[in-house]
Amino acid sequence: MSLDKAAVAKVANLARIRIEEKDLEPMAAELNNILGWVEQLGEVDTDNVEPMTSVADMRLRWRADAVTDGGYVEDVVANAPSREDGFFAVPKVIE
């Protein structure tokens, strides 16, 4: 599997990271270098092997249903680059 320029542009768009046109080709080369190296995983027999789902040998803990958090609008929006009346503000979204 090898990534071309267009594929890099597509992945960059998925990741919402601007990559300048001139940088696509070198980025493709860098990614292909890494992916080529990763190909060696194919040598490992993983038939009937479950993927690792949890690192620690434990069960998911559940929390009791109680309101224990929230109620601090100021803290929530304190770091916002743009805000208005307790809302976060972003450029108009057209749906």
Within residues 4-33, the interface with another protein by CB under 8 A covers 7-8, 10-19, 27, 30-31, 33
- Are the beta carbons of 24 and 9 closer than 8 angstroms? yes
Of the candidates 38, 30, 22, the one whose C-alpha atom is nearest the C-alpha of residue 3 is 30
Question: Least Å distance between CB 59 and another protein?
Answer: 5
Tell which positions 62-91 bind another protein, by CB under 8 A: 62-73, 75-82, 84-91
Question: Least Å distance between CB 20 and another protein?
Answer: 8
